[in-house]
Amino acid sequence: MPEAHLYLGAIALVMSVLRPRRIPWRLSRRVGWPLVISGLTIAAWATHSAGQTDLASPNRVVTDGPYAMSRHPMYVAWTTIYVGVACVTRRAWLLLLTPLLVVLIRREIEREEERLTELLGPAYTAYRTRVRRYL
């Protein structure tokens, strides 16, 4: 799980204890569970598609499975899970921190893309032109 998700989740938990805020929407669990399940499914699919590739220092561009549609399906998956958990638990602080989460994740992705361009060169550059960053 990306650090931003962990840190902001922890901050939201502390804020929920100090200043409880609930999502008033009664249908939030009906929205949240499908988001959690979708996120877990995408994460499992991405993990399976990456196979034996060490994603911390890859030696090839993964283009199978969800990587054919998104350059960063794991970030999409974890963010979907994060929002789903916010809805299921009705914790407003998780949702209130989501814009900050998006900014932090975007910065992390930009750094990662620079590193992958340096590491994998033209193969990653070509992949970037063919496949969208998120969805």
Sign of torsion, CA 16 21 27 31?
negative
What pLDDT was estimated at residue 26?
80
| φ/ψ of residue 54, rounded to 5 | -80, 105
Q: What is the pLDDT of residue 62?
A: 95
Give the chain's domain count. 1
Domain membership of residue 71 (yes or no) is yes
Question: What confidence score (pLDDT) does residue 56 get?
Answer: 82
Q: Is residue 78 part of a domain?
A: yes
Q: Residue 112 sits in which domain range?
A: 3-130
In a domain, 135, yes or no: no
| Tens-digit pLDDT string for the chain (135 aa) | 889 999 999 999 999 999 999 988 888 889 999 999 999 999 999 999 998 888 888 999 999 999 999 999 999 999 999 999 999 999 999 999 999 999 999 999 999 999 999 999 999 999 999 999 998
In a domain, 86, yes or no: yes
